[in-house]
Chains A and B, each alone.
Chain A
Amino acid sequence: KNEVEQSPQNLTAQEGEFITINCSYSVGISALHWLQQHPGGGIVSLFMLSSGKKKHGRLIATINIQEKHSSLHITASHPRDSAVYICAVVLWNTDKLIFGTGTRLQVFP
């Protein structure tokens, strides 16, 4: 079993839909990242969370430390949101990242 599990693996949406991507982990962490990777490879860090909730534009990320679960929400999705979204946890007391397998999102006009 992977230490970081993401669901769903693939997601297709119509423009304007509300999207949720989930991440569960089984290790002790000091923080959790949500990352976005577009074709071509470059990775952008969307959020780093250690508790609660963060919002940036149409993106919202939440984390429940007790339940070892995080969600990434995209409101009013747009085709430019099409990318792979990766959850990565920072292993407790290190700077080592452990990654989920990613969620491939496609948003159609």
Chain B
Amino acid sequence: KAGVTQTPRYLIKTRGQQVTLSCSPISGHRSVSWYQQTPGQGLQFLFEYFSETQRNKGNFPGRFSGRQFSNSRSEMNVSTLELGDSALYLCASSLGRTGGTTEAFFGQGTRLTVV
């Protein structure tokens, strides 16, 4: 069974640009969550999608957005990039059953550098 796949693995962008990151979950998983990891703030929750709907959202500005497609693949977009957006962006997939907690499986992450 293939794991969670994130693309691209590395990305360099310029301030003011926008970027789209992709996450393909494990087959059969319907929940995809996104996290930002920085040296200063550690791992922080961005948002979670389940069956194409955003179910939970963290405390990030509106420049951070996401979506999920009918095949459960998810994208996150960051517009008007700032230097502080440089981070490792991780996604995790799970079955996402309602009424119960299911184990999360993480991708390798996309390392974004904003210059």
Contact = CB atoms under 8 A, between A and B. Distances in A.
A95 B33 contact: yes
Classify chain A's interface size: 20 to 34
Contacts of B102: 95
A100 B43 CA distance: 8
B35 A97 contact: yes
A44 interface: yes
Contacts, number: 65
Q: Which residue among A41, A44, A45 has the maximum number of chain B CB atoms within 10 Å of its CB?
A: A41
Interface string A26-45: 00001101010000111111
Contact of B109 (A33, A42, A99, A101): A42
Interface stretch (A14-22, A66-74, A86-94): A86-94
B64 interface: no
Given A45-B106, A94-B56, A97-B104, A88 B50 contact: no
Interface majority SS (helix, strand, loop, mixed), chain B: strand
Interface of A: 30-31, 33, 35, 40-45, 48, 50, 86, 88, 90, 94-102
Given A45-B104, A96-B48, A97-B45, 13 more contacts: A40-B108, A41-B37, A41-B111, A42-B106, A42-B107, A45-B106, A94-B48, A95-B104, A97-B35, A97-B104, A98-B45, A99-B44, A101-B42
10 contacts: A33-B104, A42-B106, A42-B109, A43-B92, A43-B109, A45-B105, A94-B55, A95-B94, A97-B33, A97-B104
